[in-house]
Structure 1
């Protein structure tokens, strides 16, 4: 025979001996109403706590994202300060800052995908902005990246905008 445990809150109690059913039912209803009110208060407190926690998590993540960009902004300020320098040095500095920005995006979970030229078009990673005839290239191949994409297919911030080869 199976041994079953019963929850006292779900199983109705029998009226005690010597009491009228009406008075016992009234006290039982009052007890259940009290339990219900307590459960509703607990639920309301849970909602408030969840809303507060959500705000805190959002603020913490915004701070983390902003911190990732601080070094990039500092180095852009330095590049602007050296605008009168040799143009090759300025371009080199801007390229280094862009690399830092790419690193910041990767640290936030959105790595840059700009090197998809020559790969097969993938609608999960690419957005076709143009289709061109391309001799010597397999149809459906990315022939140019117009704008890089950020993030993996399952966590994508933006797909790469690409030009795709079509059959002649």
Structure 2
């Protein structure tokens, strides 16, 4: 039941004689409701028509948004799947690259081993030939290291020690300034700026160093 513009109560019944339920689907009952309200109040009927129109537009917007969400969800799933596949491909490629690099290095070291084998096969009494064979093997190995960017760490005596590149073994008597490198016990190696093995060195205790600018006795 509702009031018309003149304050008169108007009961709106459906075809079965029951009063309309506001909770019913306005999209289904809307057009009938508008026509019946228009019989009593045209202005109110226009408002009802606007409400129904707005409701229909909102329903369409919701459908569009749901479709857009579904589309974005599918696209996101495809992107995630593509990314996972990319990671797998990148990992396989890295493993293959490392494997090829290792194979190449081993192949070049085979020549070094062959030279060493030939040197050891020389007659035991031919010391000079054995020495030449070992030197040739070392030169071949040095070429392999050079090709790989491997550099020797062998600081000159008197060089300041570097804890990142030098491993101090002990302190010895030396003419070098105190705390500097006295002698290289075992050279180190670095590759591409990364220390593969630090050089083992002895350091001077400064006992034989007079220092710069000292007076002659």
- Find the partner of 1:55 among 95, 106, 110: 95
2:193 maps to 1:154 = yes
Larger gyration radius, structure 1 or structure 2? 2
Please tell me whether the aligned partners of residues 145 and 160 of structure 1 are also in contact (alpha carbons under 8 angstroms).
yes
Structure 2 gap ranges (5+): 1-56, 208-217
SS in 2 for 1:111: strand
Deviation at 1:141, TM superposition (A): 2.6
SS in 1 for 2:150: coil
- Equivalent-residue separation in structure 1 for 2:180 and 2:191 (angstroms): 19
Q: Which residue of 2 aligns with 1:166?
A: 205
SS in 1 for 2:177: coil
What TM-score results when the alignment is normalised by the length of structure 2? 0.62
- Equivalent-residue separation in structure 2 for 1:123 and 1:140 (angstroms): 12
What TM-score results when the alignment is normalised by the length of structure 1? 0.78
- Equivalent-residue separation in structure 1 for 2:158 and 2:113 (angstroms): 33
Change (3 A) 1:19 1:39: same
State the number of aligned residues: 150
- Equivalent-residue separation in structure 2 for 1:49 and 1:164 (angstroms): 51
Q: Deviations over 1:98-152 (max 9, x none)?
A: 22212211211112234x2414123333211112232x22113322211111126
Structure 1 gap ranges (5+): 1-16
